[in-house]
Structure 1
Amino acid sequence: MSQILGGRTPFDDIYDQPDPRGYFGSLGRFDYRTPHHAQAVFRRLVAARAQSGPVTVVDLCCSYGINAALLNHDLTLADLYARYTLPQIAELDTVELIESDKEFYAARRRDDAVPVVGVDIAAPAIDYALAVGLLDAGFVENLETGAASPALLRAAGPAGLITVTGGASFLTARTFQQLLGAAVEPVWVAAFVLRTGSYRPIADALAEYGLVTEVDPARTVLQRRFTDLDEQRYAIAAVTEAGADPAGKETEGYYHAAVHLSLPPGVTGHPSAR
């Protein structure tokens, strides 16, 4: 973990494995917890959005379907960390784990579960999430470098909510514009964004689709611990450059993320992380 790309330690290899054991093992060492914070926020947004009809969620940078697992099942992130680090789970091959996970998730499926469409550039992660039933549709596509496929646009058309927890730093307006341009219903967007960068260009693009972005910069959530002092120095410098104060947040050893909610004017400030 000593090699840092753009100041941040890369974890790219954990998404190229056939199942999520490496994901939970690696990120668990650094107390990665954004999906935990997102779970309640996304559930509230889905419930509010469902008042006007069925809701499909599009989860960007979905990896192994973690957000879908927490949204649609009676589980916590701690439950998932515990499961995927069990000695008996470590002994299974991927085929055996997939069969076990199908039963595991099916037994915990919520009555209010909603369809989730996942988008990620990591094919193994998408394949796993589809195989165990976490995603209703999954697409291995990079909307930053290419046009969305017709199949993705069809699947995303009914979306009522777009979510992102772990990948906002790697996205631009291009990704959101393609999805919102294909929407047949008003779409809400919920993004957990690290304080090391600016969400403003994306928020400005979402405004072109009638969405107002709200964020309380004073209210942040812990993302994960820094891997080393070099990464912490990078984060402190980046947060300062972005015009925020790292004191009491990044100076304490963790990345912090702010929750950005982009909603139509009539529902601005409705369900939030507050």
Structure 2
Amino acid sequence: MTDERRTGTGAAGGTTVAETVAAREMSRFDAIYDQPDPRAYFQALGPLGYRTPGHAQRVFRRLGAALSPGTSEPLTMLDLCCSYGINAALLNHEVTLDELYEHYTSREAAAMSTAELIDRDREFFLARRRSDQVRVVGLDSAPRAVAYGRAVGLLAEGFAENLEEAPPSPALRRAVREVRLITVTGGSSFLSRRTFRPLLCAARGPVWVAAFVLRTSSYDDIAGCLAGFGLATERTATTFTQRRFTDDAERRYAVDAVTAAGLDPAVKECEGSFHTALHLSRPTSDVVMTPLDTLVP
């Protein structure tokens, strides 16, 4: 998922000023997030060079290895705003983001029904399954997208719930018990402590939270919530391109928002693309033992 879907509310329970501005200035892609299959998602975002899941693939594999060194039991990861299970596809299979763009925008894919695409995807991913797989639980407010990730076998469990609007179901709470890593590659702009607090409460052990956050957005509310659970948040100095702007209005919005946040848009947003920074939240002891620069390629 990207940050262009309007599903969340602010920390105070209503839409924040920043979210109102973002909704007005950023192009909206609502229609691509809850289709029966991912074809529209890749067709819309491919021409804009959307790259965040590809960046996350490398980072999440390193985080998974750091959290489960030398263990045979698969790590359990919760992917927030999971959409069709794209992060799970990249994490657990020998496939690149560019190959997924080609896979879902090909003439062969265009001619298929959703049922046929599901059958093809099951075989496609099964043949590329990695031995060091992570058990991925998906959470997203889009029921058809989550259902696709489950049907194809990308998500071990999937939940179509919006925790900004309602508490997690008992089934979701049970699924989160063994989670060690929570990930977000898009949508953090529209999440708040309302989503994170019940998830951290449900987890039995210490959890790491890794979020790719647009530089146009603030992560302070979420980081403050995580601090209440003993997690210290670090932000990478390195940034990651998200996607190209759709028009000059988006560029102006991004440059103004980044500047207002006290950041420098030169050679980043000024060059025509949104950028994200990785925010990693961990217990203080883990921060000391494993420096952030050893985990981020």
Normalised by the length of structure 1, the TM-score is 0.96
Superposition pairs of residues 22-171 of structure 1, within 5 angstroms = 22-51=40-69, 54=73, 55-171=75-191
Q: Secondary structure at the match of 1:5?
A: helix
Q: Check whether the contact 2:62–2:296 (CA below 8 A) recurs between aligned residues.
A: no
1: CA distance, partners of 2:29 / 2:249: 16
- The corresponding residue for 2:295 is 272
Q: Secondary structure at the match of 2:23?
A: coil
- The corresponding residue for 1:181 is 201
5+ residue gaps, structure 2: 5-21
The change in CA–CA distance for 1:52 and 1:186 in structure 2 (over 3 A counts) is farther
Q: Does 1:220 align with 2:248?
A: no
Q: Which amino acid aligns with 2:295?
A: S
Deviation of 1:166 after TM superposition, in Å, equals 1.1
2: CA distance, partners of 1:247 / 1:21: 34
- The corresponding residue for 1:18 is 36
2: CA distance, partners of 1:273 / 1:169: 22
2: CA distance, partners of 1:219 / 1:95: 41
Deviation of 1:9 after TM superposition, in Å, equals 0.9
Q: Secondary structure at the match of 1:215?
A: strand
Tell me how large the CA RMSD over aligned residues is. 1.4
Q: Check whether the contact 2:208–2:281 (CA below 8 A) recurs between aligned residues.
A: yes
- The corresponding residue for 1:259 is 278
Q: Check whether the contact 2:42–2:101 (CA below 8 A) recurs between aligned residues.
A: yes
5+ residue gaps, structure 1: none
1: CA distance, partners of 2:250 / 2:116: 37
- The corresponding residue for 1:8 is 26
Normalised by the length of structure 2, the TM-score is 0.89
- Give the number of aligned pairs: 271
1: CA distance, partners of 2:120 / 2:44: 22
Deviation of 1:52 after TM superposition, in Å, equals 8.2
2: CA distance, partners of 1:261 / 1:16: 28
Q: Secondary structure at the match of 2:83?
A: coil
Q: Which amino acid aligns with 2:43?
A: G
